[in-house]
Amino acid sequence: MVRSVTHRSFSSDHNERLEFLGDSVLNLSVAALLYEKLRDSPEGELSRVRANLVKQDTLHALAVQLGLPDVLRLGEGEARSGGQKRPSILADALEAVIGAVYLDAGYEAAQTLVHRLFAAVEISPQMQAIGKDPKTELQEWLQGRKMKLPHYRVVGTMGLAHKQSFDVECVIEELSLIERGIGGSRRSGEQAAAAAMLVRIQSKAET
């Protein structure tokens, strides 16, 4: 399991092969989940919803919820540049964890993990409206509840001038919630923070 959270910047014994395996297990598990949950949906609709669930933004937010940023093993340079918050690294690590569970305990255990990860995510045929970025989705969620829009602010920058990473906070004052994300631009950092916030509010709605 240690290998699953080891980035190639840390060691030659890294998680990329597990990520490859986990990607396939994830797609099959999500397909099975949607087959059961959306019984009346045609194949094209199921494919669109699955694409929404397994995209980087969704996996990044789930990885944050799972606590992967705290256990990632990164090389010194990658750690200094904020790699523990980078959406691509976290999404890959989550897939690698799923792959490791599959190898250690079999498909049933890996499928159970995937279903638990998505338990707090609202899955419906309306998710076919893919293309909505996390900021838009969060804005619409708040507007639908007559709440004020979130505030975004850069709380830090890392890396060299030509390859900076932006650490961004997303704040919903009415709910007293703060989430953070990191990206290669201010906009992508805001999107990452919004994705983390969406997972947070969807989890709260389930409890």
Half-sphere exposure of 115 (CA within 13 A, CB side): 15
pTM of the model: 0.66
CATH 1.10.8.640 fits 132-207, yes or no: no
pLDDT for 158-205, tens place per residue?
877 667 888 999 999 999 999 998 888 888 889 888 888 888 887 665
Other CB atoms within 10 A of residue 29 CB: 23
Task: For strands 151-158 and 177-183, give the pairing.
Answer: unpaired
* Delimiting residues of CATH 1.10.1520.10 domain(s) in the chain: 1-127
Does the domain made of 1-127 have the CATH classification 3.30.930.10? no
Which pLDDT does position 84 carry in this prediction? Answer: 84
Contact 57, 181 (CB under 8 A): no
CA distances for 33 relative to 114, 121, 195, angstroms: 9, 12, 22
Q: Where in the chain is the domain with CATH 3.30.160.20?
A: 132-207
Supply the mean pLDDT for the chain.
87
* Residues marked as catalytic: 23, 95
Percent of the chain exceeding pLDDT 70 equals: 93
